[in-house]
Amino acid sequence: MIPDNIRDSQWGKKPVRIEGDRLRSIFDPWHPWQFYSPFEFFGRDREESLYMRFAALESNEDIRSFVNDFGFLGLQGISLRKIMIENDAEVEESLTEIKFQISRMHILLGLQQALTEKNLLKAKRSLLSLRSACKGRRRIFISGIIDPDNSHGYDDTIDAEGEWEVVKLDGYHAIVQEISHELQDVHQTLMYDFSTECYKGQWIVPTLLSAMYTMFSLDLQGGKILRKCQNTTCLKYFEVYANDTRKIYHDPSCAALQAQRNYRQKTKKKKEEASQTSSAGED
């Protein structure tokens, strides 16, 4: 499924620091742009792909270290590539913008999971949060009959099956629309290699963001199933393989944490119930 020469795509990285709401490259003549292929972090067996790591970023420090290790997203478009040739040019990106990109990726992953699991409520919730995250930037279409904010079109008499059909249409449409939008500038060019006397295709993936959406798109085409870790405080997604359908945590430490949390909740509930029955006995 992965075009073999896509791994030739290169992207630059450089040390960065946080300055207010911005991430800024550190000027250091000893640290010029370092080039690498984002696709080195894609499709490796049982390893998180780059876009999955990106979608799980939380704190400003998480974001800083991601950009430090993999480069700016390329939010200013193709121009960043030109800047990377000059060493002393300063580059910056806004944390607010990066956070918007993280939450959109995260919501799209959640929506995709809800659609594969046929989880009507979760799919609806994801669609609504996608719309509110994209508000003022891009329009996310939600059919009137399932949109609680649309008093004219909303229909609370629609049955679950009818509702599911509408959510499915809107959900897949939103995923396709959002990913396609990020793939607009990704394309293949043809070259002639005089040394080998052969034609060669070359992939142009203009930004890190478009590289991550290319990975997402290739995984969807390959039918890869991703699931969110069931540890409530963990944002990570992991790949679900046919032979471990019962896996619900991304790693054993999350399983242990959540088991502990569930145990505490259970004992707390038991205690509460016990005190209720004892106080009921006193009456």
Question: Amino acid letter at 216?
Answer: F
DSSP characters for 6-24? GGG--EEE--EEEETTEEE
Q: Is 254 in the site for Zn ion (CB under 5 A)?
A: yes
Does residue 236 belong to the site contacting Zn ion (CB under 5 A)? yes
Over 105-173, what HEC string results? HHHHHHHHHHHHCCCHHHHHHHHHHHHHHCCCCCCCCCCHHHCCCCCCCCCCCCCHHHHHHHHHHHHHH
Pick 183 or 255: Cβ nearer Zn ion: 255
Largest CA distance in the chain: 95
Q: Which stretch binds Zn ion (CB under 5 A): 15-23, 88-96, 123-131, 242-250?
A: 242-250
| Min dist. Cβ of residue 206 to Zn ion (A) | 32
**CA 56 remoteness from chain centre:** 7
For the CB of residue 254, give the shortest distance to Zn ion in the complex, in Å: 3
Q: Residue 234 interacts with Zn ion (CB under 5 A)? A: yes
Closest distance to Zn ion from the beta carbon of 235 (Å): 8
Residue 88 Cβ, how far from Zn ion at the closest point, in Å? 41
CA distance linking residue 186 with residue 206, whole number of Å: 7
State the Cα–Cα distance between residues 31 and 25, nearest whole angstrom.
10
Report the candidate in 203, 205, 163 with the shortest Cα–Cα distance to residue 183: 205
CB nearer to Zn ion: give 220 or 255.
Answer: 255
Query: Is residue 229 within the footprint of Zn ion (CB under 5 A)?
Result: yes
- With respect to Zn ion, which residue has the nearer C-beta, 46 or 82? 46
CB under 5 A: which stretch of 15-23, 173-181, 212-220, 236-244 binds Zn ion? 236-244
Confirm or reject binding of residue 231 to Zn ion (CB under 5 A): yes
Stretch that binds Zn ion, among 123-131, 133-141, 143-151, 247-255 (CB under 5 A): 247-255
Q: Which of residues 12-51 bind Zn ion (CB under 5 A)?
A: none
> Segment contacting Zn ion (CB under 5 A): 63-71, 121-129, 172-180, 235-243?
235-243
Go through 155-176 and write b for each residue having 16 or more CB atoms within 10 A of its CB, e for each that does not: eeeeeeeebbebbeebbeebbe
Residues that bind Zn ion (CB under 5 A): 229, 231, 234, 236, 250, 254
